[in-house]
A and B are shown apart, each in its own frame.
Chain A
Amino acid sequence: MPSVGGRVRAGIARAGGKRVPALAATLACATAALGLTGCAAEPDPGTVTVLNSATDTAEHTANQRFFDRCAKPLGIKVEQISVPADQIASKTLRMASSDSLTDILELDGSELPQFAQTEGLRPLKEAGVDTSGFSASATSLGSYDGVQYGVARSVNSLALIYNTKLLEDAGIDPPRTWAELREAAKKLTEGDTYGMAFSASPNADGVYQFLPFFWSAGGDEAKLDNGKGEAALQLWKDLLADGSASRSVVNWNQQDVNDQFVAGRAAMMINGPWQVPVLSAQKNVDWAVAKIPVPEAGKDAVPPIGGTVMAVPKNEDRAREKRAGDLLNCLNSEQNQLQWGESVNNVPTRASAAQAYAEQNPKLAPFAELVTTARSRTAKVGTGWPIVGDALAGAFQSVLTGRTSPEQAMDRAQQQASAGK
C-alpha cells in the first residue's frame, strides 16, 4: 500500500508546471504499472451486460440462473451490475454520459418515461423484441408516448394480507369495502395489536400504497383536486383517528409494515407479493391474501401496477442491441415468465402465463386478478410522475399529522404538481 501512495505523490510533485495533463498521464501509467486497472476499454462482444437492482444474494442468483439459461443457446454470457434500487437512475445517467451503458437496463416502471424521453432507449420492436401477447397493463407500464421501450417479465401490485387466526377469533371475514375495513380494523385492535397497518412514508413506498385507495375513490393523478381523492385521505385519517392504525405509519416503509405484521402487531396490512418469501419463512403468523377493499360494494379495486421493466439503450453497434433483444425474447417466453414469476412471487405479464400462474398458485390468485385491473402510475402523466407522486406524499403526510384537512391538502398538492411542470 505505501508504494501506491509514494508513487502517486512523487508523480504529482514531478508534474510541476503542466499540472493536469501530466498528472493524468502519471495516474494512468501508475494504474497500468500496478495492474490495478479493472475497467475494460472495449466491451466483450460475447457478453451482454445488465444493470439492475438485484443487490441481495437471493435475487441476484435467481436472476443469473434465468440469464444463464437463455444465454447458453445464444452462445453468450450475461453479466449483472447490481446497485441499490434508488441509485439505478443516477447510475444509468453517469454511464450514459461516459458511453459505458450496459446492454440492458432494468428500470423501475415509474422511471421509464424519464429515460424514454432522453431518446437514449431503442424502441423494443426495432431491437427485435416480440411485444405481442402481453397484458394491457404490462404494455402500458413499459410504454412512453405510445411506443414500447421496456418489457416487464412480471409485475406486482398490492393486496390486503391478513392474519387468519386473528380474524377467525374475532369472527370477521376479510373486509371488502371501506366501511367494513374501518369496522374490522376497530374490532381487531387490541392490546399491542393494531387492526390495520400500511405505509404512509413520504417516498415511493407510501405513494404506492396510497394509490389503490386514491384511484378506487376516483382520484385522478392529472387533476388532483377533482374532488374525489379526498375520500381516500379521509379513510386513512379515520383509521388513525379510530386508533385502528399506528400513528407511526407516516414513518413506515413497506418492509416496516411487514415487520409489524409478522411480529403480530397488525391484524391486516397492505403489502405486495414480494413479501411472500418472508411471510412463508416465519412460523408466528398464519396469513392469507384478499383484494384491497373498495369504497362501495360492487366497485372494482384499482391498484397500481409495479415492477421493473427491461429496456435496451441505443448502441452504435446494432449487433449488441440485437443480442440484447434476443435475450429479452427468451426471458419472456411463456415458460420462462411463469417460472420467473413463481420464483419472485410476481405475476407473469403474458396473459397465458398469468392464467397458468393463478391456477398453480391459488394462495396468490388475488394478486393475479388485481393485475388485470391495475393501472400504471405513468400512463397519464408520463415524465411528470415524480412531481405528482411527491405532491401526493405531501398531501397524505400533512393530513395524517393533522396539519391540514383533506380538501386543503389536495388543493395544495395540485398547486405543487402544476408548479413543478
Chain B
Amino acid sequence: MTTITSIAPAASTGKTNSKTGRAPRRQRLLRWLFVAPALTYMGLFFGYPLVNNILISFQHYTPKTYFTGEAPFNGLDNWRAVFANDLFGDALWHTLLFTVGSLLGQFTIGLALAVFFSRRFRLSGMVRAVLLLPWLVPMVVSAVVWRRILDQEHGMLNTVLHAIGLAPADGVPWLSSPSVALLSAVLVNIWVGIPFNMVILYGGLQEIPRDVYEAASLDGSGPWRTFRSITLPMLRPVITVVLVLGFMSTVKILDLILALTSGGPADSTQTLGTVTYQLSFLQLDFGQGAVVGNVLILISALFAVLYLRANRADFGKGK
C-alpha cells in the first residue's frame, strides 16, 4: 500500500494539458462521465432550489401561494423592503464579525491541536477521536447545555472564572448583555468547529513526508522555523479547503444562534441567517426571506471569487 508522498501541486501541474487536449472525442466524452453523475445530482439538489430561491425573491410569495400557486412578480419590492430595514445592516455586520471571529478561533485552535496530536504519545489517537464527540450532539441539546454553562448567575463558566479570580463579582453577562452575546455565540461556534478543523488539518499534516522534517532538523532549524517554512507552505492546499469550507458553513449559520439566543438580546446576535429565518418562517414573507438568502449566497460567491483568484494553484484547473 502506498500513499502520496509528493504533495507540492504547483510542481506537478502543466505539461499534461497538451496531451489531454488532443484526446479523441470518444475519450473526452468518457472523461466527462466521471463528472456527470455528480453534476446531475448537484443540478437537482442545489441548482433547482437555488434558481427557485432567486425567482421567489422577485415575487409576491405568501402563504397563499402554497395553496393557489399564484405568485405575481413584484419587481424589486422585496429587495427594497429588505434594504430599508435597519435590522438588515446590523445583521450584515454581525454576520461578518461572527464569521471572522469563528474562523480565526476555529482555525488557530484546530491547527494547534492538529500539530499537537501529530506527536506520538500514548492515547493520542483515542483522544483525537473522542474530540469529535461535540459534533454528534444535536444542536438542541448543545444549546441547552451551553445556556446553562453561560448563565450569568449560576453558570459553570462564571463559577470557574470567579473561583480563579477572573470574573467580576456579579459574573460576566455572557448571554444577557448585547455587548457580550455575540462574542459568546462566537465562542460556542468555535467549540463546534474545532473538530472539523482539527481532523482535516491533521490529515493534511500526515501527508507531509517525514523526511522533509528530518532534513530540516539536520539543518538545525528550530521547531517554530520548521513550522513556518515547511509545515505551513506544504499545508497550504488543505488550509485553503478548511478556510473556504469553514467560511461557507459559518456565514449561513442559523440553528446555533436560534437555540442559543434567538437573535437577542436586543437583536445583538441577529445574523443574515436568523433574519432569513425570521422573515420566511415566522412572518411567512417568503419573498423578503429569499432576498436575504440571496444576499448570503452573493457574499459567498464574492468571497469565493476573491479567494480563488488569490490561490489559483490550490483551486485551479488541475492538470
Q: Do chains A and B touch in the complex (CB under 8 A)?
A: yes
The answer to whether the Cβ of A203 comes within 8 Å of any Cβ in the partner chain is yes
**Would you give the 0/1 interface string for A393-405, flagging 1 where the beta carbon is closer than 8 Å to chain B?**
1100110110100
Whether B281 contacts A394 by the Cβ 8 Å rule is no
- Does the CB pair A386–B282 fall under 8 Å? yes
Q: Are A118 and B44 in contact (CB under 8 A)?
A: no
Q: Nearest B residue to A250 by beta-carbon distance?
A: B265
Cβ of B60 to closest chain A Cβ, rounded Å: 13
Within 8 A of B (CB), among A90-148: 90, 93-94, 96-97, 114-115, 117-120
Is A202 on the interface with B (CB-CB < 8 A)? yes
Contact A96/B67 with A12-B40, A251-B265, A403-B178 known, Cβ cut-off 8 Å:
yes
Cβ < 8 Å to B, chain A residues 44-97? 86, 89-90, 93-94, 96-97
Contact with B41, one of A12, A90, A251, A403 (Cβ below 8 angstroms): A12
Which residues of the partner chain B approach A246 to less than 8 Å between Cβ atoms?
A: 152-153
Cα distance, A250 to B68, chains bound together (Å): 40
Determine if A12 and B262 form an interchain contact, defined as CB atoms under 8 angstroms apart. no
| Chain B contacts with A in 1-40, Cβ cutoff 8 A | 33, 36-37, 40
Residues of A within 8 A of B152 (CB): 246-248
A390 interface neighbour in B154, B266, B282, B284, Cβ under 8 Å: B282
Contacting A at CB under 8 A, from B244-285, are: 261-268, 278, 281-284
Q: Would A94 and B66 be within 8 Å (CB), given that A13-B33, A202-B262, A401-B178 are in contact? A: yes
CB pair A390 B283 closer than 8 Å = yes
Q: Mark each residue of chain B from 50 to 87: 1 if its CB lies under 8 Å from any CB of chain A, else 0.
A: 00000000000011101111000000000000001100
A201 at the interface (CB under 8 A from B): yes
**Which of chain A's residues has its CB closest to B152's CB?**
A248
CB-CB nearest in chain A for B69:
A97
Known: A23-B44, A96-B67, A114-B284. A247 touches B176 (CB 8 A): yes
Can you name the residue of chain B whose Cβ is closest to the Cβ of A409?
A: B266
Contacts of B268 in A (CB 8 A): 401
Measured between beta carbons, the chain B residues less than 8 angstroms from A394 are 266-267
Is A401's CB under 8 angstroms from B283's CB?
no
Q: Is B37 a contact partner of A12 (Cβ separation < 8 A)?
A: yes
Q: Is B314 an interface residue (CB 8 A)?
A: no
A96-B67 Cα distance, complex, nearest whole Å: 6
Q: With A202-B264, A251-B176, A390-B282 as known contacts, state yes or no: A118 contacts B67, CB within 8 Å.
A: yes
Q: For B44, what are the chain A residues with a Cβ–Cβ distance below 8 Å?
A: 20, 23
Q: Inside 8 A of B37's CB, which chain A residues have their CB?
A: 9, 12-13
The yes or no answer to A323 lying at the interface (CB within 8 A) is: no
Q: Is the CB of A120 within 8 A of B67?
A: yes
Given known A23-B40, A90-B281, A386-B283, contact A251–B63 (CB-CB < 8 A) = no
Complex contact A251–B66 (CB within 8 A): no
Q: For the complex, would chain B's binding face be called helix, strand, loop or mixed by DSSP majority? A: loop
**Nearest CB to that of A22 among chain B residues?**
B40
Q: Bound complex: CA of A249 vs CA of B266, how far in Å?
A: 12
Chain B residues with CB under 8 A of A114: 63, 284
Cβ of B198 within 8 Å of any chain A Cβ, yes or no, is no
Cβ of A179 under 8 Å from chain B: no
Chain B nearest CB, measured from A233 CB (Å)? 13
Measured in the bound complex, the distance between the Cα atoms of B62 and A90 in whole Å is 12
A250-B264 CB under 8 A given contacts A12-B37, A114-B284 = yes
By the criterion CB–CB under 8 Å, are A390 and B66 in contact? no
For the complex, is A19 an interface residue (Cβ under 8 Å from B)?
A: yes
Contact A248 B175 (CB under 8 A): yes
A393-B68 Cα distance, complex, nearest whole Å: 32
Residue of B nearest to A202 (CB): B264
Interface presence of B217 (CB below 8 A): no
Does B311 sit within 8 A of A, measured CB to CB?
no
The answer to the question of B204 belonging to the interface, with a C-beta cut-off of 8 Å to chain A, is: no
Whether B40 contacts A251 by the Cβ 8 Å rule is no
The answer to whether B207 has its CB under 8 Å from any CB of chain A is no
- Do A93 and B63 touch (CB < 8 A)? yes
Contact of A202 among B151, B177, B265 (CB under 8 A): B265
B156 → chain A closest CB, angstroms: 14
Distance between B267 CB and nearest chain A CB, rounded to angstroms: 7
Partner of A13, one of B36, B173, B263: B36
B262 to chain A, nearest CB (A): 5
User: How far apart are the CA atoms of A23 and B44 in the complex, in Å?
Assistant: 10
Interface residues of A in 371-421 (CB under 8 A from B): 386-387, 390, 393-394, 397-398, 400-401, 403, 419-420
Q: Specify the chain B residue showing the minimal Cβ separation from A84.
A: B140
| A182 close to chain B: CB less than 8 A | no
A-B interface, 6 closest residue pairs, ranked by CB to CB distance from nearest: A202-B264, A120-B67, A93-B66, A250-B265, A118-B64, A12-B37
Could you list 17 A-B pairs, sorted by A, with CB under 8 Å?
Answer: A20-B43, A93-B63, A115-B63, A118-B63, A202-B262, A202-B263, A202-B266, A203-B262, A246-B153, A250-B176, A251-B147, A251-B264, A386-B283, A400-B265, A403-B178, A419-B84, A419-B85
List B residues at the A interface (Cβ < 8 Å).
Answer: 33, 36-37, 40-41, 43-44, 62-64, 66-69, 84-85, 147, 151-154, 173, 175-178, 261-268, 278, 281-284
Known: A89-B63, A97-B66, A419-B84. 19 other contacts (CB 8 A): A16-B36, A96-B66, A115-B63, A117-B63, A119-B68, A120-B67, A201-B262, A202-B262, A247-B173, A248-B153, A248-B175, A248-B176, A250-B176, A386-B284, A390-B282, A401-B266, A401-B268, A403-B178, A419-B85
Which A residues have a C-beta under 8 Å from some C-beta of B? Answer: 9, 12-13, 15-16, 19-20, 23, 86, 89-90, 93-94, 96-97, 114-115, 117-120, 192, 201-203, 246-251, 256, 265, 386-387, 390, 393-394, 397-398, 400-401, 403, 419-420
